[in-house]
Amino acid sequence: MLGHVDHPHTGPNIRRLFRAALLLGAGLSAIGCVATIDNDARGFGGDDDRWYTGGWRLQRDLAAGVPDSERSWLDAGADAVAAHLDLLPAGADEPPGFTTVSLVAGQQFFTPANLKASTLIEDDRPYAGWLYAGVVRFDTWLDSDDGARRDVEHSVELDLGVVGPDSYAEQIQSALHSSLVDGQDPEGWDHQLGNEPGIVLRLSRAARDGYAERAPGGLAADAISRIGGAVGNVDTHAGLAETVRFGWNLPRSFDAASGDRRRLLPGGARGDDEPASLYGFAGADGRLVLRNIFLDGNTFQDSHSIDKQPLVGSLLYGLAWEHGAFRVACTRTHLTREFDGQPEGQVFGSLTVSWARRF
């Protein structure tokens, strides 16, 4: 069992949390779902149980603008919020292509490297958890020339959540480690960041800068650039990224998590008779970090904090496979040092599984 748990209502609270996650996934067979798990355990592609120790994210995908009578109240609410997230100018990308919406929920866990100490470790990152839900609006423009694929996609995400004990990071981590992992119980959760409501607005513009294919249905490669950032009391940063992909039947997607969003449109489902996609990908990104609550500490109260590195980079690589409505992607990410005194960077693995089809 990981961590010190002394909350008498932990069981009911955890059950309510998982019921909320199930609500997010209600009716997943109707349109689409993405589930992503991060973990820094060695068996998951990481290098140790420390720092960003893991997280999960569920994503419910749907086409925008469907009449309310044809969808659940949850989907209709996400659609209504997304209508106010048209914040990035289309510019030369006019006329608009199509819009899709995602309803998301997730949780992240952060610990220091020394999990045995029950006292405050001042020279390492604080214990912290982040539980959130949000809405993402995707505006996609697809090049009419399938041989060029100068595609563009804008995304705007609004997340609301909580940092601190009410994120239930301690309890969820303890429950998962006690049942799935035979490891060291973190003893320092009494020193985690205090409760604080969080809001983050994330904006991104991705563009396919190049595409080359040897023959239809054959080997192909593309390059995707991304510029974006975030504003909020949990995370404020600006960043640039570049990703290259190489393989068979490359989908017209922009990352392993989002997939080809045409599949959400009427008549856009990928048929089981279509050739499978198999490709490798690699990318790099850099960030200018202005605010990171998981290092800077609480905004409105005193808490443990540590001096962050203003410039953070990462390298990632992985493999993805798509067939019919299903997609699986495995990714390994290498982070540079995030705070002063951190002896080295970090490695963690991610597994993304998705299903997308419109009937």
Total domains in the chain come to 1
CATH number reported for the structural domain that contains residue 320 in this entry = 2.40.128.140
Helix (H/G/I), strand (E/B), else coil: 151: coil
Residue 2 lies in a domain: no
Instruction: Report how far residue 41's alpha carbon sits from residue 236's, in angstroms, rounded to the nearest whole number.
Output: 27
Angle, CA 135 vertex, CA 233 and CA 334 arms, to 5°: 65
pLDDT at 176 exceeding the cut of 60 = yes
pLDDT tens profile 78-95:
989 999 999 998 766 665
In the prediction, which pLDDT does 175 show? 79
pLDDT tens profile 327-341:
999 999 999 999 999
Residue 3 lies in a domain: no
Strand partners, 280: 246, 319
Instruction: Report how far residue 236's alpha carbon sits from residue 146's, in angstroms, rounded to the nearest whole number.
Output: 37
Do 294 and 329 touch, CB atoms closer than 8 A?
no
Residue 84 lies in a domain: yes
pLDDT at 5 exceeding the cut of 50 = no
**Where does the pLDDT of residue 21 fall: very low under 50, low under 70, confident under 90, or very high at 90 and above?**
very low
Residue 1 lies in a domain: no
Strand partners, 153: 140, 206
Maximum alpha-carbon separation in the chain: 63
Query: Domain range holding 211?
Result: 10-356
Residue 159 lies in a domain: yes
Instruction: Report how far residue 299's alpha carbon sits from residue 294's, in angstroms, rounded to the nearest whole number.
Output: 11
Q: What is the mean pLDDT of residues 352-357?
A: 84
Mean pLDDT value across the chain: 86
pLDDT tens profile 198-224:
999 999 999 999 999 987 768 999 999
Determine which of 259-263, 291-295, 313-317, 343-347 has the lowest per-residue pLDDT on average.
259-263
At what angle are helices 10-24 and 169-180 packed, to 10 degrees? 90
Residue 68 lies in a domain: yes
* DSSP-assigned states of every residue in 244-297: EEEEES--S-SSTTT--GGGGSTT-PPPTTSPPEEEEEEEEEEEEEEEEHHHH-
Instruction: Report how far residue 35's alpha carbon sits from residue 59's, in angstroms, rounded to the nearest whole number.
Output: 6
In the prediction, which pLDDT does 92 show? 64
Other Cβ atoms less than 10 A from the Cβ of 72: the count is: 14
pLDDT at 267 exceeding the cut of 70 = no
Residue 91 lies in a domain: yes
pLDDT at 17 exceeding the cut of 70 = no
- pTM for this predicted structure: 0.88
Residue 332 lies in a domain: yes
